[in-house]
Each structure stands twice: as structure tokens, then as C-alpha cells.
Structure 1
Amino acid sequence: MPSPDWDAPTAGAPVDARVVLPGSKSLTNRYLVLAALASDVSRLRAPLRSRDTMLMAGALRALGVGVEDVDDGDWVVTPARLTGDTDVACGLAGNVMRFVPPLAGLADGPVRFDGDVEARRRPMAPVLDGLRGLGVRVEDDGRGALPFTVHGAGAVRGGSVTIDASASSQFVSGLLLSGARFEQGVTVHHDGKSVPSLPHIEMTVETLRDAGVVVDDGDVHTWRVEPSEVNALDVQVEPDLSNAAQFLGAALVTGGRVHVPGWPQYTTQGGDFVRDVLDMMGAEVVLDRGGLTVTGGEEILGIDVDLHDSSELTPVVAALCALADSPSVIRGVAHIRGHETDRLAALNAELSALGAEVEETEDGLRIRPAALSGGTFHTYADHRMVMAGAVLGLRVPGVVVEDVATVGKTMPEFTTLWDRMLDAQVTAEV
């Protein structure tokens, strides 16, 4: 059932806040999968606790893996022989529906997958067909989508497989994460249009190497994982940089200042590109040992930007473009039509409803700023749409964000953190 709507607060003054971000969803879920396959007990320090990561932890528990909450907020993961004849609830989490099926191939019986109604529209065929090519039996009645059943046989032959990953980098990552435990390892070839969000595959490769797995990514569009043990992990999860975009954007919108401590000097997170985007839009962006500080000026500049490798930023960037002083073009994000919702259609509809002039292109959006007015900002069960609505509300009175609790997919305490940021006297932390 949808949650109550939320009156997005309007900023009465420039923000001046220190925002401590929760851990990265993408890293948390990758570490959980690798910990489930490891040779010993792992510890994930400061993992993200959100709907998506709780669904991943629940999926692992359904397969017999121990995922224990400890008092300081860490997760301790105890690997076990993977058990079948179980059900995995995917919710709307792409990581769960695409990372866990290869893991289920190693279970000792059938594993049934299903999720939210919206999840049944998300493409799954490349992962499912890839698993079939590696010797795993999968039943999906030809849908290439949820619901489906992976018939685990206790082992996966592995080998070489060719897929079209142009709709999501998660198709590649899902096969690579479990590949070390396949008898022949796995080699994934991509054949199709360019793979979106390549930094997420780089993140997968790096986390595999952190666990001692040998990965060869030297050839274009080909990734090879050697069969081997997976070492136990003891890792600190980086802050989620994609979830910083709306807070940092608030500095730009209000002409204020937002500081995010702990911003990594080096990262594979695609969300790091927000620094370049905000710089292009006129903010002062400073990264030093203390973290990242963004300071807004008197105007927001329109931009022409390719977000192909950082497409999760699109909703918030589109909201900033609607508030800019000149037209903008967002390119390279045709694939986000297959995300939690058709994000291009959703942004076109909602920004237009508030008064912006928006054109949906083949691979993105053209946005021409205009006088905006309040109204209901529909979110389509998409957490990023909630964040975009919040950014618009900073300057446009009367924006009402529908079904605000859907933001719990990646940031359950978002509205509390947002309200604290708008109080210049309060440090905003989660």
C-alpha cells in the first residue's frame, strides 16, 4: 500500500550543513554475495540498512547463509552449504533479482524468485539465458522476467557465455560475483550496444579482487573469473555517493554550503561523477582529506551532459536542470527506461506537470526551464523520484511528493535527514 504523501519543504535560507551519508547500497550487496561464498566468516562494517540490502540479506538467509546483526550496526556473515526448495523475495531490488540467481545455481534444489508488481517489468533475460548457457536449468515460461525458478544442482559447470548487457551492467556483475565457485569459472562476453554504468562492473571486479579472486578484465567487453576459493572479508563500506546528489544539489539550489565527510579520494562508485556535474552547473566543488564540500553561487547553469556511466544521478540532475537559468540536455541514459520505472517518461511527465518544458529524446531529456508551480510529484515506486521531488521543493512552494516511503529502498531516513539539513543550526547525520 502506498505511503502518505510528503510536503517537500521550501528553503527559507541558504543551507549550511554537514551530511553524513549511509553506506553504499551497491557495495553492501556485492560484499554480502561474496561473503556468502567465502571460505570463512566475514564482517561488513557500517553497511547500508535499507529495503534493498535487507532484501539481499533475507535472500541469503533463505539459502541457508547466516547474516547476523551485531550491536554496533555491522553484519557478520557465516557461509554455509546453499540450500534450495526456498523462496527469494526480490522486492524492487535489481541487485537481488540479478545477483542471487547465479548463487542459487549452487544450491541443492529449486529456488523460486518473485518481487513487487513493478519488478515483473524489469528485464532479466540476459542473466537467465546466461545461466542456461553455463549449465543451470531455469524456468520462466519464456517471460525473461520475474517470477522464475532456478533449479540448483549443488554445482555449476560454468565456462564461457555471451550476453547482451546493454540494458544493465548488473547482468555482467551478477554472473561474475558467483563465478569463482563455478567448476570452470566464468567468462562473460558482451555483444550489443554499449554497456551502461561501467563503473559498477569495475566495482564488481574490485570487490572480487578484494576477496582474492583472480579476474581478467583486460579485453574490451570480456571479463574472466578464475575458479577459486573466495576469501573472507573484513571491510568498511564506503558512503553511498549516489545518495549524496540531492544533498549536494541543495547547496546549488539555495546558494548554500554542504559538506560530506568521508568522501573517498578514489572510488569505483559512479555517483562520484556528481562532483563534475555540480562544477559544470556553477558550484564550487572542493575535495580534500576532510571530505567533499559544495558551495552554490547566485545561479544554476544549464548543461549538456552524458550520464551513461552514472545514470542513477539522472532524476536529481534533471530536477536541477529544471531550476537552471538556461536549457540543458541529458544524454546517454536510454537504459533507465528499464529501471524501477521508466525514468525518462516519469521525469518528462512530472517536470512538465510543474511547468518545465521537457522533451524526451532517444537517449535522454531536453529541459528548458520555465516558471514552476507546486503540485503532486508522482514517484512511481522509485526512490530516485522522491529525491528529485525534494530538490524541486527547495525552490518551488507546494510540491507534494507522492508515496514518500518508497525512498526506503536506499535511504529510509531520508526525510529526517532532509529536514535537518534545512536547519542551519543542526548537523545533518543519519
Structure 2
Amino acid sequence: METHLPWPAPTASGPLNAALRLPGSKSMTARALVLGAVSHGASTLRAPLRARDTELMAAGLRAMGCHVSTADDNLWLLRSRPLEGPARVDVGLAGTVLRFLPPVAGLATGAVSFDGQPAARRRPMAPLIGALRTLGARIDTANGLPFTVHGHGRIAGGPVTMDASASSQLVSGLLLSAAGYDRGMVLRHVGAPVPRPHVALTVHMLRSAGAGVDDTRPDVWAVEPGRLKGRAWDIEPDLASAAPFLAAALVAGGTVTVQGWPAATNQPTRRLLDVLRQMGGEAAVTARGLVVRGSGAVHGVSADLSGLADVSAVLAAVAALADSPSHLRGQEPPDRLAQVASALSGLGTDVTQEADGLRIRPRPLRGGTLRTHGDRRLAHAGAVLGLAVAGLRLDDVACTAKTLPEFPRLWSSMVSSYEGGPADAEARVRRG
């Protein structure tokens, strides 16, 4: 079993004054890789995210015959080729690889086998596998990893119904490949509401690649069959990676700027900034980037975090440092809510897990070791708490490499960029 040394979370000695340039969005990088593989012609990804999940995605596409060059950190190149097996795809712990590549494998010729880490084997796959079988794919499995997709170069497509309540990635995975199906696809979701932001990003990128997509009916997506075209993708910074840095401004006070933030985006930026404002921050998208200012005073909040699952642990950490209780609602899986609740209560917070989220009543916090369970979201939350809680350690900061390998260095650089220190101190990602 892999072991990690505990990481002492830096404590802020004063208000921050930091400007960061973060790598690209994992969500956009993953979708652009898949679209490049199923499109005709060449595609490029400018400023992509090089991290554990995106490397696994690139490796899976290479295994099926797609040319993927990632030699240049700033510019990745894809050239579509006929996809084929036999091939083996390691999904690791990457949900995007697990849910985006099986529909691609159905378009390949030959057998493509999938497996991953033990935790990935526990992830629900029955809805996606059932939908692919309805659409015409042949899959050998008992509805979970490991499994093999036996492709014959085409999928019939057509109408399909699926319960995607477990993850919006189930919807996105089918949509990304659906234009290559003989009859396209009309996907109907039944079940609890699916968070919209990531599906909206998928639809936007599909249209940008030339797909005809109708999403005007609630919980129904129709993708017309047709040839997608390779194109150049400019990958935006990732909101989930930016969230702990932005939250740091509220907890420690001062200003944190994420540089290079686009004026228009499909990421749920406005919703996150609205919550940060309610908690006491000033937040805006400016010419300098995504900027949050705080006084060090944090207020409790009652907020619906549906669609903000990747940042809810960070917001729960901020709530634990507030001057009044918070009620954070959303659609997090119960086991993840339990992990967040356990992490906060272990440091002294009064936390109650409810069916719709967490009730957090702040108490004086103490140092100790926060268990991340290998989840970078909990690691981000622990780092935020460490700004105000001396003696706090993370049992595994290496799990942040899943989406942001530079996190420990960037975080330490930000904490040292205090007001009164070097003006506009910058923590930059080195490239190339």
C-alpha cells in the first residue's frame, strides 16, 4: 500500500496578497481529448491540464489508436485515426475516463478492456452499460469494472432512457460520442435531477465541434448523427482548482487573484462567487482575473450547492470558521458528505449530516491530522482550515495531483504572499 508523509498545512500570518496562474480545467481538457478522438482532422488543446486524470485519458485514447502528443505542456495535439482493439484502458480513479471512454470504445473495431483501482470498481456503472447495450454495444460485465467493450466500428444509436442520478458524467459520456452513432441518440434521464453545469459544458463543446444538439426539453438531449470537425481548443482555468485559493481570501483576509480568467464561461463561476459574497467576501471577474477580497471575518450561510459538488468541501471548511451556523444543501453522495462531516467534527466542529446536506455550527478548532481518503476535495478543504488552525496536517496531500499536481507549492507560495510583503507576489505554474 502506498504511504504518504503527513503534510503540515501552512498557517496564514496575515492578510494575503497573491496572484496565481492555474493550469487548465480538467473538465474541458477531458472533453476536448474525447472530441478530438472522435472528430475528423487534427485538434489542438492550448493550456491543457497535465494531471493524473488527463494523462490517463490520453493514454486510453492512445491505446485505442488515436495519436495524442502531450510533449509540449502548453499545446497538445490529436490526430484522429480509426479506433481499434485489442486495447487495455486503465481508468485509475478517474471518473471521466471510466464514463467517457466506454462509449468511444463502442466505435472501435475490436475488444477494449477497462479496469482501475479498487475504489473505481465500486463506482456505479450499470446505468451507462445498460444504455450502451440498448444503443447497440456489446459489453461483457456484471455491470461494473472490470469489463470489455467488443466494438465493431459502429453503434446503431437511437432512443435510450437512463437514470443518471449517480453522476452527470454518465450523461456527458454518452453525449460526447453520440454524433458518431448511426442514428445519433435521444437520451432521456429519469430519476433525481442531474446537476446542469457540467452537462451544459458538454453540450457547448459538442456544438463548437459541429454537433447538432437539442437540449430544449428538460432531462432530454438529442444529438444528430454527423461528422465532427477537429478544431483548436483554448482550455480555461479550472474553477474547482481555483476555489480553495479564492476561499483563502475570506479565511485569512486580503486579496487572491486567479489570472487569465475568461470574461464568459460555462463554468458555474457566478454561483460560487455569489456564495463567497454571502459569506463575507468581495468577488468579481475583472481584467486582472477572478478576484476575491476578504476581511478575515466569515459569515454563516444557507445555500444550495447543487452543481457545485467539486467545491462543496471547501465551502464547508469556510463555514466551519464562520461567526454563525450554516446549512449547505446539495446533491453530494451520502458517503462523501459523511467524509466531510467526519473531517470537520474531528477538528472540533459541530456537524450534522442531513438528507439534503450538512448543518455546520462553528466551534473553536484544534489541530490534528485530517484524513483525505485520497480525495483532493478534502485535501483542499484541509488546506483552507489550516490557514486559521495551527498544527493541522493532511495525511495525504499527494491526492491533489489528480487535478493539480502543483497544489502544495502553489499553496505555500500563496500563504507567503502576505500583505506588506512583496507587492503583487505571484505563484505561477512553470510550463515547458
Runs of 4+ in 1 over 4 A off after TM superposition: none
Match 1:281 to one of 254, 262, 279: 279
In the alignment, what sits opposite 2:153?
Answer: 154
C-alpha distance in 1 between matches for 2:231 and 2:380: 32
Q: Contact 2:163/2:190 (CA < 8 Å) preserved in 1?
A: yes
C-alpha spacing 1:71/1:171, structure 2 compared with 1 (3 Å): closer
User: Equivalent residue for 2:288?
Assistant: 290
1:415 aligns with one of 395, 408, 413:
408
Say if 1:321 and 1:328, in contact at 8 Å, map to a contact too: yes
For residue 207 of structure 1, what is the aligned residue in structure 2?
205
Q: Is this contact kept in 2: 1:179–1:225, CA < 8 A?
A: yes
Measured in 1, the distance between the counterparts of 2:319 and 2:87 equals 46
Structure 1: distance between partners of 2:6 and 2:353: 27
- 1:359 alignment partner, one of 352, 362, 367: 352
Tell me the SS of whatever aligns to 1:324: coil
SS at match of 2:324: coil
Map 1:5-404 onto structure 2 (within 5 A). 5-71=6-72, 73-141=74-142, 144-196=143-195, 198-270=196-268, 272-334=270-332, 336-337=333-334, 342-404=335-397
Whole-Å separation in 2 of the counterparts to 1:116 and 1:5? 23
> What do residues 317-373 of structure 1 show as CA deviations (whole Å, max 9, x unaligned)?
010011111100111224x34xxxx32011111110100000111121111000100
- In the TM superposition, residue 11 of structure 1 has moved relative to its aligned partner by 0.5
SS at match of 2:170: helix
In structure 2, the CA distance between the partners of 1:56 and 1:376, relative to structure 1 (3 Å rule), is same
SS at 2:416's partner residue? coil
User: By how many angstroms is 1:127 displaced?
Assistant: 0.9
1:83 and 1:108 in contact (8 A); partners too? yes
Aligned mates of 2:139, 2:3 — CA distance in 1: 33
Identity across the alignment (%): 50
Does the 8 A contact of 1:114 with 1:146 survive in 2? yes
Give the Cα–Cα distance (whole angstroms) in 2 for the partners of residues 244 and 136 of structure 1.
Answer: 38
CA distance in 2, matches of 1:104, 1:35: 14
Mapped to 1, the partners of 2:354 and 2:361 lie a distance apart of 13
Amino acid at match of 1:16: N
Give 5+ residue unaligned stretches, structure 2: none
How far apart are the structure 2 equivalents of 1:276 and 1:114? 40
Output the CA distance in 2 between the equivalents of 1:61 and 1:34: 14
Checking the alignment, whether the CA contact within 8 Å between 2:48 and 2:73 is kept in structure 1 is no
Letter in 2 for 1:365: L
What is the rounded CA distance, in whole Å, between the counterparts of 1:286 and 1:271 in structure 2?
Answer: 10
Indicate conservation of the 8 Å contact 2:257/2:288, yes or no. no
Cα distance, 1:271 vs structure 2:
5.0
Measure the CA separation in 2 of the matches of 1:175 and 1:272: 27
Cα distance change on mapping 1:409 and 1:271 into 2, 3 Å: farther
AA of the residue aligned to 1:255: G
Shift of the alpha carbon at 1:266? 1.9
Query: How far apart, in 1, do the equivalents of 2:198 and 2:370 lie?
Result: 29
CA contact (8 A) 1:242 1:272 kept: no
Tell me the distance in 2 between the aligned counterparts of 1:190 and 1:298.
43
Give deviations 1:115-164, integer Å, cap 9, x for gaps.
Answer: 111111111111111101101111222xx322211111111111110001
Amino acid across the alignment from 2:182: E
Q: Secondary structure at the match of 1:81?
A: coil
Rounded Cα–Cα distance in structure 2 between residues aligned with 1:128 and 1:73: 35
- In 2: Cα distance, 1:428 partner to 1:72 partner: 18
The alpha-carbon deviation at position 199 of structure 1 amounts to: 0.8
Contact 2:188 2:220 (8 Å CA) reproduced: yes
1: CA distance between counterparts of 2:97 and 2:313? 22
Q: How many angstroms apart in 1 are the aligned matches of 2:237 and 2:296?
A: 29
1:383, 1:413 → 2: CA distance? 12
Q: Residue 330 of structure 1 aligns to which amino acid in structure 2? A: L
1:289 & 1:243 partners in 2: Cα distance? 20
How far apart in 1 are the matches of 2:78 and 2:265? 24
Structure 2 residue matching 1:275: 3-state secondary structure = helix
Question: Following TM superposition, by how much is the alpha carbon of 1:75 offset from its aligned partner in structure 2, in angstroms?
Answer: 0.6
> Deviation digits for residues 48-87 of structure 1, max 9, x if unmatched?
0000100100110011101112435211001111111111
CA gap 1:103/1:308 in 2 versus in 1, 3 angstroms: same
Task: Tell me the alpha carbon deviations over residues 16-62 of structure 1, each in whole angstroms, 9 at most, x when there is no partner.
Answer: 00011110000000000000011101111010000010010011001
Deviation at 1:265, TM superposition (A): 2.1
CA distance in 2, matches of 1:29, 1:271: 19
Q: Report SS of the residue matched to 1:308.
A: coil
TM-score (norm. length: structure 2): 0.96
Q: Distance in 1 between matches of 2:401 and 2:373?
A: 14
Across the two proteins, how many residue pairs are aligned to each other?
A: 422
- CA distance 1:395–1:229, shift in 2 (3 Å): same
What CA RMSD, in Å, does the superposition of the two structures yield over aligned residues? Answer: 1.1
Contact between 1:35 and 1:79, CA under 8 Å: does it hold in 2?
Answer: yes
Classify 1:273/1:429 alpha carbon distance in 2 versus 1 (closer, same or farther; 3 Å): farther
Provide the secondary structure at the position in 2 that maps to 1:309.
coil
